[in-house]
Structure 1
Amino acid sequence: MKWSITQLRKFQDKPFEFHQTVNFDHLVKSLDLIDLSDIDIAGELTVRSNEVIADMHITGTYTMACARTLVPVEAPLDIKSQEIFDLEGYERYSNDAEDDEHYHDATDGMINLRDIAEELVIIEKPMRVFSNESDQMLREGNGWEVIDEEQAIDNAKEQEQSDSKQIDPRLQKLQQLYDEEQ
């Protein structure tokens, strides 16, 4: 994913197309992932007089733990980015109040997209993911279930009725006296 400027100057008339698969396994631990698939990077480099424009499409898959259940979940990675490499020197853009993160210095004579792709993979990682079964798992479990308000009211009424039918064993003697008087 590294090309020299002189090599790219041969493609001044037409864009230089590229497609490579890279492996960023070293990011798995630092990004707290279960796995990171091989990353496909495709695109084209367009050479102009004082800059090289890289249009990239990065695809892959993060495998992360579900935030609710810790079950492995695959999250897709799909990034489109346009990076501009300045051949005359990046300093002229650094005077602006707002530096553009898509501008890169190419005065060393090389265009290196691997580092930029790695940065994009890090930035685009989702904060958390949820499995499809996690909603169901939040509704019921071992000996419990979530009920709505109407069910709670109905359950309270049933409990109240069953409580009124049952006599507290401590007060059963008083009930017998009450029954004898009538």
Structure 2
Amino acid sequence: MKFSLQKIKREAPYDFEDTVNVDELESMDNDIRNITDVKVKGEATVQGESFTFRYTVKGTMTLPCARTLVDVPYQFDVQAVDRFTTVEYEAKNNEDIHFINQEVLDLLPYIKENILLEVPIRVYSDEATIDNIVSEGSGWDLLQEDEHEELKAKHEEEGKEKVDPRLSSLKNFFNDKND
């Protein structure tokens, strides 16, 4: 999404609406497995040499379920405000304002940044059931609660019966009344 600064100045407030392809977010090192084209709608205003873009970004991304790793569609609706200026001094004094040294502003990197900030830490699938969960792996098994209780009781019973052979002479220490 590229905007001519002169056109924005002439037509301020400048309304815009477009569908943008941001599928390169899938190849970045994040959890986004798939992302649809996003809808961007907003308004640009001008005050002197400062440009303010207020816009919303709507779309759907596919993320892995935190429990089962199955695909979970996640709809997002981002409200964003980005400020730009052609005055370098103003941008250096305020980190919230981006400096523009060209006549054309590309809003796409800022849209991507706002989408990445919207990615949740975890999502859960509504269809996540015990059948979908991976039940075993290298050196581990997933047990149901009753299976766990049975295994625990079996280990406790085996632990009582076994005596370390090195300690077998101490087994009758308190039973010996001659000492």
- Normalized against structure 2, the TM-score is what? 0.68
Q: Of 101, 110, 115, which residue of structure 2 is paired with 1:107?
A: 101
1:128 maps onto 2:126 in alignment: no
- Aligned residue number for residue 67 of structure 1: 66
Letter in 2 for 1:51: S
Q: How much has 1:116 moved relative to structure 2?
A: 0.6
Identity across the alignment (%): 29
- Provide the residue aligned with 2:8 in structure 1: 8
Q: What aligned pairs does 1:17-28 form with structure 2 within 5 A after superposition?
A: 17-28=15-26
2:112 is aligned with 1:118:
yes
1:52–1:85 CA contact under 8 A, matched in 2: yes
1:26 offset after TM fit, Å?
Answer: 1.5
Aligned residues: 146
**Partner in structure 1 of residue 76 of structure 2:** 77
1:4-44 residue CA offsets vs partner (Å, 9 max, x unmatched) = 111112113xx111111111112113223221111111101
Instruction: Tell me the secondary structure at the aligned position of residue 121 of structure 2.
Output: coil
Contact 1:44 1:55 in 2 (8 A): yes
Contact 2:91 2:99 in 1 (8 A): no
Map of 2:32 onto structure 1? 33
Question: TM-score, with normalisation over the residues of structure 1?
Answer: 0.67
Describe the SS at the equivalent of 2:7: helix
Superposition RMSD in Å: 3.1
Unaligned 5+ residue runs, structure 2?
A: 136-141, 154-179
Shift of 1:52: 1.2
Aligned residue type for 1:39: V
Consecutive unaligned residues of structure 1, counting only runs of 5 or more, are: 157-182
Q: 1:60-105: per-residue Cα shift (whole Å, max 9, x none)? A: 1110121111211011121101111113x23334246xx22xx111
Give the structure 1 partner of residue 177 of structure 2.
none
Asked whether the equivalents of residues 39 and 58 of structure 1 are also in contact (C-alpha less than 8 Å), the reply is yes
Residue identity matched to 2:103: G
Shift of residue 133, structure 1, vs aligned partner: 3.0
Q: Is the radius of gyration larger for structure 1 or structure 2?
A: 1
